Chains A and B, each alone.
Chain A
């Protein structure tokens, strides 16, 4: 295949993926109320974003939720993976089948079923935040499990035994020998959980308290509403998130590349 065609193809797909975001980033620095209008440079979107208590509460709430859910998922998923790794094949198979359910299931179904479970069976009010946290944890934990398990399989199993022979208690051996070997898996699982929680709309919308909004649910409501200043302030939020994601991903990529060398 000719090189020019290849460049063209990759270029077109990348344009499709990035043009909307980049244009939005550009317009977030203007006082335009819609894309295409030519207006002057302005930071008022950023001022609105950081000056509106409602928006701040929403962003802070989303981040706090993502962090909490990610910590819970990482603890559950890592412990689960270690336990399953040392269990019988049959037990592990059953666990992995259940683990697979939230991964393949539609998020709408996960959210909807979690909601009726909580309300009808456990009688837990959505205002307690428990359904939201449990729901998102159920969504994220399988991915932590799936990123920790391959690391356990690659691990040198004899080191654990060596630690026991040298007088370590099993618990010590686990913390000082097994855990350090699977840290990369745990970290990438944690990152996955954070991203999934930040990205989640469906579980949140079915399980969240009425007065609480995550970025996703807020954006969906804001696009239906007519408040232009909020709408354009969200452009600024997109720009900030875009920059953060680019920095984090490039940094991870750079570190991975360095390790390869």
Chain B
């Protein structure tokens, strides 16, 4: 009975029950066959090492070596000296910026009205906005493309505009969800306080609601900006022959040029890292929580 209690104390103090093992060598041998909860992590940890972390090192290796296997930064120098490549980078940034901006402009009012307006906390409406996320994006883009070709006649006339429309259509739900999650948690008493202190509705919105929804805006941006820089399938499907960063990887890949493909990957990874750092600073929470919230 005493030993049971001792064990229990160990649990209560937060230590795992296997701690006892180390007290006695004999006991270790016996208890090693015991199953430990921590060990459950091992398969996933090994998997992450080999198939998530290792690929990044492989990409790093290819980006910083030339065909002979010598270390060089020549690949990067060539990228930044190539006006075409720089043009692609600028074009992708423009596509991503515009997509993010339009997503934000469409999603913010919708999210706000659902969280605080007439559709206050109506879960069905939120579901309606998020539902398209579950449908295969290539099929959704096909649908949008059919509509656009009906309206415009010839898709090739406005490749840039069509790209932006299809991107916004594709990513809008990913912007609405984090915005809604942030605004819905906004305390109503703050709005009432602003009203009591004489703020007009407009002032309340710009001085209270908008600043407090910045975390949601930032995590929405992180979920839309990067995919719209890299999702070259959308461009392909609306016959936009201009390249974005993602298409560069695709074309280098088809040409078996892994070194330059890796350079693009590294540049994208740096951009991702910057966005993540900025967003963590603004939202003050780890990316884990952000994603956890987004999952619903």
Within 8 A of A (CB), among B6-59: 7-8, 11-12, 16-17, 34-45, 47-49, 51-56, 58-59
Instruction: Choose one: B39, B117, B288; the contact of A6 (CB below 8 Å).
Output: B117
Contact with A along B109-146 (1 / 0, CB 8 A): 11001100111000111011111111111111011111
Give bound CA distance, A145 to B62, whole Å: 30
Beta-carbon contact of A82 and B37 below 8 Å: yes
Beta-carbon contact of A195 and B44 below 8 Å: no
Chain A CB within 8 A of B77 CB: no
Report B37 CB to chain A, min CB distance, Å. Answer: 4
Q: Which residues of A contact B291 (CB under 8 A)?
A: 103, 143, 146
Interface of A is mostly: helix
Chain A CB within 8 A of B265 CB: yes
Instruction: Choose one: B4, B58, B143, B276; the contact of A113 (CB below 8 Å).
Output: B58
Q: Which residues of B contact A241 (CB under 8 A)?
A: 135-136, 139
Instruction: Choose one: A104, A116, A192, A220; the contact of B295 (CB below 8 Å).
Output: A192
Q: Which residues of B contact A114 (CB under 8 A)?
A: 51, 55
Q: Which residues of A contact B7 (CB under 8 A)?
A: 164
Beta-carbon contact of B55 and A199 below 8 Å: no
Give bound CA distance, A29 to B270, whole Å: 47
Chain B CB within 8 A of A112 CB: yes
Chain A CB within 8 A of B91 CB: no
Within 8 A of B (CB), among A87-109: 87, 91, 95-96, 98-109
Interface of B is mostly: helix
Chain A CB within 8 A of B90 CB: no
Chain A CB within 8 A of B192 CB: no
Beta-carbon contact of B265 and A109 below 8 Å: yes
The A/B interface has a contact count, at CB < 8 Å, of: 273
Known: A20-B169, A106-B229, A138-B51. Is A165-B8 also a contact (CB below 8 A)? yes
Beta-carbon contact of A220 and B37 below 8 Å: no
Give bound CA distance, A256 to B3, whole Å: 44
Instruction: Choose one: A16, A79, A98; the contact of B43 (CB below 8 Å).
Output: A79
Q: Which residues of B contact A86 (CB under 8 A)?
A: 16, 37-38
Beta-carbon contact of A216 and B136 below 8 Å: yes
Chain B CB within 8 A of A249 CB: yes
Chain B CB within 8 A of A51 CB: no
Report A73 CB to chain B, min CB distance, Å. Answer: 10
Report A76 CB to chain B, min CB distance, Å. Answer: 5
Q: Which 3 A-B pairs have the closest CB atoms?
A: A83-B41, A80-B44, A83-B40
Q: State the A residues within 8 Å of B (CB).
A: 1, 3, 6-7, 9-10, 13-14, 16-21, 23-24, 27, 34-36, 76-77, 79-80, 82-87, 91, 95-96, 98-110, 112-117, 120-121, 134-135, 137-138, 141, 143, 145-147, 149-150, 161, 164-165, 169-171, 174, 188, 192, 195, 198-199, 201-202, 206, 215-216, 219-220, 223-224, 234-235, 237-238, 241-242, 245-246, 248-250, 253, 256-257
Q: State the B residues within 8 Å of A (CB).
A: 4, 7-8, 11-12, 16-17, 34-45, 47-49, 51-56, 58-59, 62, 106-107, 109-110, 113-114, 117-119, 123-125, 127-140, 142-147, 149-150, 169, 172-173, 201, 222, 226-227, 229-230, 232-233, 236-237, 246, 249-250, 253, 258, 261-262, 265, 268-269, 272, 276, 286-288, 291-292, 295-296
